[in-house]
């Protein structure tokens, strides 16, 4: 017979064995960017990686896994082990892909969990100087007079630059023809050359072209005027309710233990809310996006719903 004191000790000790968690982090963290080198998500990931590594005491390795509008890298993380060592950097495109790519192999808000937002930025509506409009009201009037005549460039179906154009069409009641390019660099080059005369683009990329007179900046897409281009009005000043920012944030496998998610959220928030974070984002033409975990989760859900409706209403299909 087992002595009572040993049996009692075994029972009392069992919860400690059952609930014991391995030390975290126990190896380098992987920060998967589902896009190529040099883009906004890649730059944001590399900025966050260094201070996050210092805080956690392990390397944070940025890995670029581009393809399928970001779905390849996101799918890789959705199917990764939920041990707190793999994260994905994503944004608006991931929210749009929920509707645009029904065969993507994962469900964003089921298979991944919100960790922390990183930044938010606006786009700018730019025209080639040959377009006979110098203000947004003039431009909208032109599109209404000549429906279907004018083309706008974008960097692929479901990307922010594409959906901003479709949102303008829907909310202003105008018709433009979307022309897809392999990335924003190709689309921007076509705009500057006058091959496609209209484009929504990221402000940091387009601002030098505007100041150099190669394109004409018409309006920005935030709820208020952008500090990078303060002389330009917002689209909302002409089309009430229009707002299309670009956001970037972090997610990781849904089953990741909550204490790990909360620790990562706290560390990333600390970085983005620092003077260095604000200054780096300013140079990128963005602002730190600081939210609680609950606020970020709710933001993601709203964006999936909003962009899903836009994709369906516009009849956008993946290429």
pLDDT in tens, 52-109: 999 999 999 999 999 888 999 999 999 999 999 999 999 999 999 999 998 899 999 9
The answer to whether the peptide bond before residue 25 is cis (omega within 30 degrees of 0) is yes
Last residue of a domain, which of 194, 216, 237?
Answer: 237
If asked whether residues 168 and 253 sit together in one domain, one would say: no
Q: Provide the pLDDT for residue 201.
A: 93
pLDDT, averaged in runs of 10, over the chain (319 residues): 42 44 90 89 93 97 92 96 97 93 93 97 96 98 97 91 94 96 89 97 90 96 92 97 94 98 98 94 91 97 94 84
Domain that holds residue 215: 122-237
- 21 within a domain of the structure (yes/no): no
Q: How far is CA 124 from CA 87, 158, 165, 222, in A?
A: 30, 17, 11, 9
How remote is the C-alpha of 84 from its chain's centroid? 21
Give the residues across from 86 on adjacent strands: 30
Could you count the other beta carbons within 10 Å of the beta carbon of residue 245?
21
If asked whether residues 57 and 106 sit together in one domain, one would say: yes
Q: Provide the pLDDT for residue 314.
A: 86
If asked whether residues 225 and 298 sit together in one domain, one would say: no
**Residue from 245, 255, 252 nearest 299 by CA:** 245
Question: How many alpha carbons lie under 13 Å from residue 194 in its C-beta half-sphere?
Answer: 6
Q: Provide the pLDDT for residue 20.
A: 52
Which of helix, strand or coil describes residue 182? coil
If asked whether residues 199 and 233 sit together in one domain, one would say: yes
Last residue of a domain, which of 206, 237, 268?
Answer: 237
Quick check: 122 and 226 in contact, CB under 8 A?
Answer: yes
If asked whether residues 217 and 182 sit together in one domain, one would say: yes
What is the count of structural domains for the chain?
A: 2
Q: Provide the pLDDT for residue 120.
A: 93
- Alpha-helical runs (H) found in 173-292: 184-193, 203-211, 258-272, 275-283
Q: Provide the pLDDT for residue 7.
A: 40
Phi, psi of 202 (to 5 degrees): -65, 140
- Residue in this structure with the two tokens 């984002």, named with its chain if needed: 281
Q: Provide the pLDDT for residue 255.
A: 97
Quick check: 155 and 184 in contact, CB under 8 A?
Answer: yes
Contacting residues for 288 by C-beta, under 8 A, at least 6 apart: 118, 119, 272, 273, 277, 278, 281
Last residue of a domain, which of 202, 237, 272?
Answer: 237
If asked whether residues 132 and 156 sit together in one domain, one would say: yes
**Which CATH number goes with the domain that contains 129?**
3.40.190.10
- 72 within a domain of the structure (yes/no): yes
Q: Provide the pLDDT for residue 10.
A: 42
């Amino acid at each position: 017979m087992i002595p009572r004191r040993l049996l009692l000790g075994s029972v009392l000790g069992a919860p400690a064995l059952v609930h014991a968690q391995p030390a975290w982090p126990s190896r380098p963290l992987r920060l998967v960017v589902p896009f190529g080198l040099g883009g906004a998500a890649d730059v944001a990931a590399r900025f966050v990686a260094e201070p996050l590594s210092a805080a956690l005491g392990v390397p944070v390795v940025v890995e670029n896994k581009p393809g399928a509008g970001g779905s390849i890298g996101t799918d890789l993380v959705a199917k990764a082990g939920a041990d707190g060592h793999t994260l994905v950097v994503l944004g608006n495109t991931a929210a749009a892909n929920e509707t645009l790519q029904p065969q993507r192999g994962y469900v964003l808000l089921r298979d991944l969990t919100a960790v922390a937002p990183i930044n938010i930025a606006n786009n700018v509506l730019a025209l080639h100087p040959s377009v006979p409009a110098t203000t947004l009201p003039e431009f909208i009037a032109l599109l209404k007079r000549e429906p279907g005549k004018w083309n706008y460039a974008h960097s692929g179906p479901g990307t922010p630059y594409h959906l901003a154009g479709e949102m303008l069409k829907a909310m202003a009641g105008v018709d433009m023809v979307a022309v897809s390019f392999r990335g924003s660099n190709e689309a921007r080059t076509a705009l500057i050359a006058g091959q496609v005369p209209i484009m929504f683009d990221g402000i940091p990329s387009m601002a030098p072209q505007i100041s150099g007179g190669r394109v004409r900046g018409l309006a920005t897409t935030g709820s208020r005027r952008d500090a990078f281009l303060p002389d330009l009005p917002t689209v909302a000043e002409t089309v009430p309710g229009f707002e299309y920012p670009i956001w970037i944030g972090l997610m990781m496998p849904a089953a990741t233990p909550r204490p790990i998610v909360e620790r990562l959220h706290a560390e990333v928030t600390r970085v983005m809310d620092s003077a260095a974070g604000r200054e780096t984002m300013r140079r990128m033409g963005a602002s730190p996006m600081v939210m609680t975990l609950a606020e970020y989760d709710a933001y993601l859900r709203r964006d999936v719903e909003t962009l899903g409706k836009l994709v369906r209403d516009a009849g956008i299909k993946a290429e």
